Amino acid sequence: MITLALAGKPNCGKSTFFKAATMAHAEIANYPFTTIDANFGVGYVRAVCPCRGLDLTCQACSGGIRYVAVNLIDVAGLVPEAHKGKGLGNQFLDHLRQADAIIHVIDASGGTDSEGNSVEPGSHDPLGDIQFLEYEMAMWVYGILEKHWQKISRSAQSKTYPIEKGVAEALAGLGIREHDITAAETATGVPLVKCQGETLVTFCHHLITISKPMLHIGNKVDETSDALIKRLSDADIHFVSAASELALRNAAAGQLITYHPGDPSFTIAKEETLSPGQKAGLARIKALMERFDGTGVQQTINKMVFGELDMIVVYPVEDENHFTDGKGRVLPDAFLMKKGSTPHDLAFQVHTDIGKGFLYAIDARKKMRIRESHVLADGDIIKIVSTAK
């Protein structure tokens, strides 16, 4: 399952985002290092369930909306010089190696300084936090490579093995692959064998941005001035109000409103049951959602998975005529797959044995047999025929 990490300095709203996305418990407070140990939970990407277009009754979706699970990690806040161990830096950076991609939460209101302390809103530049996170992560990788660089260089010079392989071995625990290293080497413009000092730092910066896709989001947009919103918009920052999303999720759970995560608005179930304070709060949230087309939380997860990670949703079935599994359940499973994946890739994702015994696949919509090398499309419904049961 895909794993997304929520990163950023303390007190920027990571834990509120985490709780709003997962509805799991996470301590939320207005001071740095509320999160000491990482919080682990399950969030979801939102997709249109194929049952709608096929006029089927599906038990796995909610009103034609299919939510597909992804892992979320809310890690401890990052402060300057975290790569040297300051604050909870080592713990923070260690958790990031588990992530396929990083959602970088910044305080769009400019109401917290670089270490997460509360300051006058607008007095801190939120854009400075973007460079800060990328720098800390690059220096973290640089510190690892620097320790091994003489050994890696000697092995490359003696042609024991290519330098890219040596770097990959040194960074094996970070989820960095050899093709990421090759791409970063090309982006640096200097052969790895000649990298040292600043050029090695530059290589590490490219390596982080290539191997760990990152999406920067401006949280606390409900507290942000119009001038800062304009400035952050020009920098292509995606806006979020995690506190608003959490309020809506709680209100929906209490049956006060009808709301699905990712909706651009909501409807009040019974207005007479709301207190004046609740009505005022919901009115503020509705106005914010009209301005930003939602709270931004679900939109962030979708943008990361479908945009930055380039994934699609594919639905495996056993009965291509009724779109069911062996128990008669309609479209019970949904898998996130990388664009360009084939039916054989899907077979392995369903189960290793099914992948090993793969024979062929059937496009359930067209009732046609498709090649092993056929490129899957978003929303495909596929029957896998395998020697494995």
Tens of pLDDT, residue by residue over 89-110, are 455 566 777 788 999 999 999 8
pLDDT at 339: 96
134: left (phi over 0), alpha (psi -120 to 50) or beta: alpha
Whether 229 and 164 share a structural domain? no
Asked whether residue 277 is assigned to any structural domain, the reply reads yes
Asked if the model's pLDDT at residue 4 lies above 60, the reply is yes
Nearest in space to 124 (alpha carbons), one of 110, 138, 139? 110
pLDDT at 113: 82
How many structural domains compose the chain? Answer: 3
Whether 11 and 97 share a structural domain? yes
Whether 89 and 159 share a structural domain? no
For the segment 37-60, the average pLDDT, to the nearest whole number, is 88
Whether 14 and 83 share a structural domain? yes
Asked whether residue 129 is assigned to any structural domain, the reply reads no
Last residue of a domain, one of 206, 223, 257: 206
CA distance 194 to 278: 63
Which amino acid is located at 265 in the chain?
S
Model confidence at 295, pLDDT cuts 50, 70, 90, reads very high
Asked whether residue 126 is assigned to any structural domain, the reply reads no
Asked whether residue 367 is assigned to any structural domain, the reply reads yes
Asked if the model's pLDDT at residue 330 lies above 60, the reply is yes
Last residue of a domain, one of 158, 174, 206: 206
130: left (phi over 0), alpha (psi -120 to 50) or beta: alpha
Tokens of 301: 């997860």
CA distance 227 to 108: 11
Whether 11 and 85 share a structural domain? yes
Asked whether residue 179 is assigned to any structural domain, the reply reads yes
Model confidence at 35, pLDDT cuts 50, 70, 90, reads very low
**Helix 128-157 with 198-211: angle, nearest 10 deg:** 110
For the segment 347-372, the average pLDDT, to the nearest whole number, is 93
Q: Are 85 and 59 in contact (CB under 8 A)?
A: no
Whether 113 and 245 share a structural domain? yes
Whether 13 and 112 share a structural domain? yes
User: What are the distances in angstroms from CA 54 to CA 129, 234, 329, 331, 364?
Assistant: 47, 42, 15, 11, 11
Range of the domain at 57: 3-121+214-302
Higher pLDDT among residues 331 and 112, named by residue: 331
CATH of the domain at 297: 3.40.50.300
CATH of the domain at 373: 3.10.20.30
Whether 154 and 195 share a structural domain? yes
Model confidence at 28, pLDDT cuts 50, 70, 90, reads very low
pLDDT at 79: 61
Tokens of 246: 């959490």
What residues have CB less than 8 Å from 206, skipping those under 6 apart? 183, 184, 187, 188
The 3-state DSSP composition of the chain as helix, strand, coil percent (nearest 5) reads: 40, 20, 40
Whether 110 and 11 share a structural domain? yes
DSSP state of 75: P
Nearest in space to 311 (alpha carbons), one of 333, 336, 347? 336
Model confidence at 87, pLDDT cuts 50, 70, 90, reads very low
Whether 146 and 241 share a structural domain? no
Q: Are 300 and 214 in contact (CB under 8 A)?
A: no
- Write down the mean pLDDT value for the chain: 86
CA distance 347 to 366: 19
Asked whether residue 139 is assigned to any structural domain, the reply reads yes
Model confidence at 133, pLDDT cuts 50, 70, 90, reads confident
Best-predicted range by mean pLDDT (52-56, 136-140, 176-180, 258-262): 258-262
pLDDT at 80: 57
CATH of the domain at 150: 1.10.8.470
CA distance 176 to 210: 9
Whether 144 and 278 share a structural domain? no
Report the share of the chain in percent with pLDDT over 90: 53
pTM of the model: 0.86
Whether 115 and 30 share a structural domain? yes
φ, ψ of residue 107 in degrees (nearest 5) = -85, 100
Asked if the model's pLDDT at residue 84 lies above 70, the reply is no
For the segment 344-350, the average pLDDT, to the nearest whole number, is 94
Model confidence at 175, pLDDT cuts 50, 70, 90, reads confident
Asked whether residue 296 is assigned to any structural domain, the reply reads yes
Asked whether residue 127 is assigned to any structural domain, the reply reads no
Model confidence at 38, pLDDT cuts 50, 70, 90, reads low
Higher pLDDT among residues 176 and 45, named by residue: 45
User: Per-residue pLDDT tens for 196-238?
Assistant: 788 888 988 899 888 888 999 999 999 999 999 999 999 999 9
CA distance 92 to 145: 19
User: Per-residue pLDDT tens for 375-388?
Assistant: 999 999 999 999 98
For the segment 281-289, the average pLDDT, to the nearest whole number, is 96
- Determine the 3-state secondary structure of 145 from DSSP: helix
pLDDT at 120: 86
CA distance 136 to 205: 9
Last residue of a domain, one of 206, 235, 265: 206
Q: Are 268 and 257 in contact (CB under 8 A)?
A: yes
